[in-house]
Amino acid sequence: MTTQAAPAIVPNFGDDETTGRKLAIICSKGTLDMAYPGLVLANAALGEGVETHLFFTFWGFDMITKSRMANLKFTPLGNTATHLPQGVGGLPGMTALATHQMRKQIADVGVPEVPEFLEQIVASGGHLWACRMSADMMHVTKDDLYDGVEDIINAADFIEKTDGAQLLFI
Amino acid sequence: MPVTSIAGRDIHVDAEGFLTSYDEWTPELAEQLAAQIGIDLTDAHRKVVAFLRDDYATQGETATLRRVSTLSGVGTKELFTLFPKKPAKKMAYIAGLPKPHGCV
């Protein structure tokens, strides 16, 4: 019988990889439920060492507008996946109730509210960009936007910045 | 379950190399684990690792990056500096714990 030293098993954290992976996420929705997919994926990508850019456009502006970002709402209306009768979603107070319930569910799994989540993404090295056309349409300036937003840029700028990136539209 | 030899001791690990037995970890082993992935442990690293160890002991699962940054007193930015690129996995590895399962 021969004795053999077992080879050291060391996880590969990809530190030697020279090709930088890049992810670009376009956030175009302003509802509470649709804010999270982009935030969760951006956060996960950053935690995996992936250069990550978020581009906020149209209704997605609510996610980065100071006066609105902490007050995103959820409605069961038009969403059959809640499995509620559609008429119920239109009752007075239903949006507030559904929003309250979803906020609680999100908090229960230890996931932060939108402003705090953005703060974490910026601290992790993520880049936030706002859409020029949306800003002009809605008469929003950089002062109205979350401080972590680096700039208001046009679509061509975004395409340029995300050269070679994998792209998600949400 | 694979067994690997670290610092002259047989250590049980999973297929990727993460320790599978909480009690096989020692602070001395952490120095070796860190060195294997190119990290020189400082007191700042050790503080985070100690938090992860304690948190696992009470929670039964590895803290996510968010949990570490909110409860350990070491902020997200600093965690990325201490454990570059993949902080959550690297600190779990050095602390002798499984990779975190949580999404956030």
Find which of B66, B69, B74 to mutate to test the A interface (most A CBs within 10 Å of its CB). B66
Residue B7 pLDDT greater than 50, yes or no:
yes
Give phi and psi for B48, each to the nearest 5.
-65, -45
State how far the Cα of A72 lies from the Cα of A54, in Å rounded to an integer: 18
Question: Within a domain: residue A116?
Answer: yes
Which residue positions in chain A have pLDDT lower than 70? 1-7, 18-19
Question: Within a domain: residue B57?
Answer: yes
Question: Would you tell me how many other CB atoms lie within 10 Å of the CB of residue A29?
Answer: 19
Q: Pull the structure tokens for residue A72.
A: 């995103």
Q: Pull the structure tokens for residue A146.
A: 């979350």
Q: In which band, very low, low, confident or very high, does the pLDDT at B35 lie, cut at 50, 70 and 90?
A: very high
Question: Within a domain: residue A91?
Answer: no
Question: Within a domain: residue B79?
Answer: yes
Question: Within a domain: residue A45?
Answer: yes
Question: Within a domain: residue A84?
Answer: no
Alpha carbon distances (Å) from B50 to A21, B15, B19, B44, B45: 31, 24, 16, 10, 9
| CATH classification of the domain holding A165 | 3.40.1260.10
Q: Which of A2-11, B9-18, B81-90 has the lowest mean pLDDT?
A: A2-11
CB proximity B88 to A under 8 Å: yes
pLDDT at A5: 52
Give the range of the structural domain holding residue B84, as residue numbers without chain letter. 3-94
Q: Are the beta carbons of B89 and A25 closer than 8 angstroms?
A: no
The alpha carbon dihedral of A71, A75, A78, A82 has a sign of positive
Distant-in-sequence, close-in-space partners of A143: CB < 8 Å, separation ≥ 6? none
**Residue A15 is inside which H or E element, if any?**
none
pLDDT at A1: 45
- Of A6, A13, A109, Cβ closest to residue B85: A13
Number of domains in chain B: 1
> What are A110-133's pLDDT values in tens digits?
999 999 999 999 999 999 999 999
Q: Stretch B65-79: mean pLDDT, rounded?
A: 94
Q: Is the ipTM of this complex over 0.90?
A: no
User: In which residue are the tokens 């098993």 written?
Assistant: A9
Question: Within a domain: residue A89?
Answer: no
- Of A40, A47, A117, Cβ closest to residue B88: A47
pLDDT at A16: 76
Give the range of the structural domain holding residue A48, as residue numbers without chain letter. 22-74+112-169
State how far the Cα of A51 lies from the Cα of A19, in Å rounded to an integer: 11
Closest CA relative to residue A38, chosen from A53, A48, A22: A53
At A62, is the secondary structure helix, strand, or coil? Answer: helix
Q: Do A110 and B104 touch (CB under 8 A)?
A: yes
Number of domains in chain A: 1
